[in-house]
Amino acid sequence: MMSKLKRCPSCCGKARLMTYDTYGSHYVKCDNVSCGIVTWIHTTEEEAVEAWNKMVTDEEYVESMYTRKEYGE
């Protein structure tokens, strides 16, 4: 079972798993167009998600930042 994607370590935005159909390669990117953080290309979805989730080292901090942005704190 694939792990859930964590929020972006830079902007706290949502992450999206992407696939290059031509090559069958996978990567994860931040949905925030102003951010631009992405992982390297991986051969499986699981590897791409694992690489993304390793970039987020303190989920509680990221979640607290997201909540502050959402509620204008």
Q: Is residue 55 classed as helix, strand or coil in its secondary structure?
A: helix
Residue at 41 is within a domain = yes
Q: Which domain holds residue 52?
A: 15-71
Residue at 29 is within a domain = yes
For 23-59, what is each residue's pLDDT tens digit?
789 999 999 989 888 998 999 999 999 999 988 555 6
- CA-nearest of 8, 16, 3, 15 to 63 is 8
Residue at 34 is within a domain = yes
Residue at 3 is within a domain = no
Question: Does pTM surpass 0.85?
Answer: no
For 4-24, what is each residue's pLDDT tens digit?
999 998 888 999 999 987 778
The pair of structure tokens assigned to 10 is 């830079």
Look at residue 73 in the predicted model and tell me its pLDDT.
45
CA distance 66 to 73: 10
Residue at 2 is within a domain = no
Look at residue 25 in the predicted model and tell me its pLDDT.
93
Report whether 26 contacts 6 (CB < 8 A): no
Residue at 6 is within a domain = no
Work out how many domains the chain is built from and give that number. 1
The pair of structure tokens assigned to 68 is 């502050």
